[in-house]
Amino acid sequence: MTRDRLHPVLASIDLVVLDKDGTLIEFDAMWAGWMEALADCLEAALDRPVRDRLYGVLGFDSARGRAASHGPLATMPMAVLRRSTFDALTAVGVAPESATHALERCWAPPDPVALAHPLADLPALFGTLRAAGLRLAVATSDDRAPTERTLTALGLDGLVEDVVCADDGSAVKPSPAIVEGICGRLGVPPGRTAMVGDAPADLEMGRAAGVGVCIGVLSGTGSRSELEPLADVLLASVGDLIVG
């Protein structure tokens, strides 16, 4: 297949690295309900109000049901979110032992299958990109087990060559080491790589790694004003990588 159906920004690209939450799947469908359920459980377990402090520490706007684009909920791995939750509880006077017990009772990752709402026809999109000769990788701030379950549920098995997750023991976004590692393993120079993401950290990572093109998508946590200075092109959705 030729590249006639691809967005022109991919003309000189051999590898596309994509974020997951907010780029491939709806961010708030996955995380907003989880955030509210966690607050409900902690308040019931501790019999005291902790919600406002928790939301502030993790960067969640309950009025809008949205995560702040630069906040921990949008950018940090689960292990960091758990430590930050513990700190939020102790900051409002919860004894460390009580905070630990409450977290043991309430902490559970969101269901990566039931809550994964794709932002495009992802098997068709990934299949078209692969058929046009592009290689694909995913770089996410989520952990590996839920990420692999999500990609399988989305029908992307066999289409993604490399996946980097927050609990792999490597750097976290926006470190360029993530993209540099993917490029090294797949043998593609950063200059012939595109980074696609919905958050400033995704595009900052791509810029720092020297990728050939940074593509912002307006389907997640980042606003136009936040992404525009970092992006070579802004798209409404990852599906717009296909134009024909």
Flag whether pLDDT at 170 surpasses 70: yes
pLDDT for 75 equals: 86
Say how far apart CA 131 and CA 19 lie, in whole Å: 21
pLDDT of 135 reads: 98
- For 49-85, b where at least 16 C-beta lie within 10 A, e where not — what string? ebbebbbebbbbeeeeebbbbebbbbbbbbeebeebb
Instruction: Provide the H-helix boundaries in 76-154.
Output: 78-91, 96-106, 122-131, 144-153
pLDDT in tens, 69-115: 889 998 888 999 999 999 999 999 999 999 999 999 999 988 888 88
Whole-number pLDDT of residue 164? 97
pLDDT score of 1 more than 70: no
Supply the CATH classification number for the domain 8-25+116-241: 3.40.50.1000
Q: Is the dihedral of CA 138, 235, 33, 202 positive or negative?
A: positive
Between 231 and 30, the higher pLDDT residue: 231
Residues of the chain with CATH 3.40.50.1000: 8-25+116-241
Counting DSSP H helices and E strands in the chain, the numbers are 10, 8
